[in-house]
Amino acid sequence: MTTHLDRSPHQPRRRPTPSRDPAATRDDPPRVPGLVPITVWRLDDHDDGRPATEPGSGFASCLARRLILTYTSLGETVADLDSDPHVHGAASATGRSYLAITEPAGLSGPDQLGPPASLVTLHWPRPTGPSTVEAVGVLLTACRPIMSEDASVIAAVWSSDPAQPNATFADYEHALRGAAEAAGLTHVLQIVAISAPGEGDQFLYYATETEVVHVVTEAAATRDRQVLHIDLLVFHRKGGSP
């Protein structure tokens, strides 16, 4: 694979993880080797002099906007399983419809939705309720009828869960893949998103684990600023367009 550094790619109530650890934000590797390609997103989350309402809010908004612009088109629907205000704001600002779904009962059927959802977002571990494979699998399965054929499901993976203090990234990835498989989805990509204020958005495709660690380490070593880091797992409908 060839690595490319580019400035164009082809949210959250919880805050992204501050990182000053040379090995990234956890003690385990930032990916599960060999499963899927990995892309690094360095996002310019400068605030243009506007005060942030909370630490990390600029990065969360920037990430939500980039995800929506990359994975949806004007007029399409973004379904959000967490009622994330950053995802809602980015969808509204970019001319997408927004649908918050927190339980299967909240789905009224595709005939009442309007345009099918081309992007579904969620947090893992779940911010509310048990983070079980079965519960998320049921919710994702319930979303299938409202998803377009080429829809993407993107899970933002947090670095730690108080209920699972010893869980690793590999544990989270395995659990999410189990839930996705049960819902007829397949894991196709990992995105490592980090903040890079004042540097402009940059994208590193087909990155190796060594390159990922190097980029995160380099960013974390930058003086006088806090680096924000979050991993995203991208899933597609089986049989749909990539």
How far is Cα 31 from Cα 191, in angstroms, rounded to an integer? Answer: 10
Q: What's the pTM value of the predicted model, to 2 decimals?
A: 0.79
Domain boundaries, given as residue ranges, for the chain: 4-237
* Token output for 82: 């967490």
Residue 121: phi, psi to the nearest 5? Answer: -120, 150
Per-residue pLDDT tens over the stretch 125-163: 877 655 678 888 888 988 888 899 999 999 998 765 555
Candidates 3.40.50, 3.90.70, 1.20.120, 3.30.70; CATH matching 4-237? 3.40.50
Residue 58's contacts (CB-CB under 8 Å, 6 or more residues apart) are: 45, 46, 47, 52
* Token output for 112: 């009442």
Per-residue pLDDT tens over the stretch 165-200: 677 878 888 888 888 998 999 999 999 999 887 778
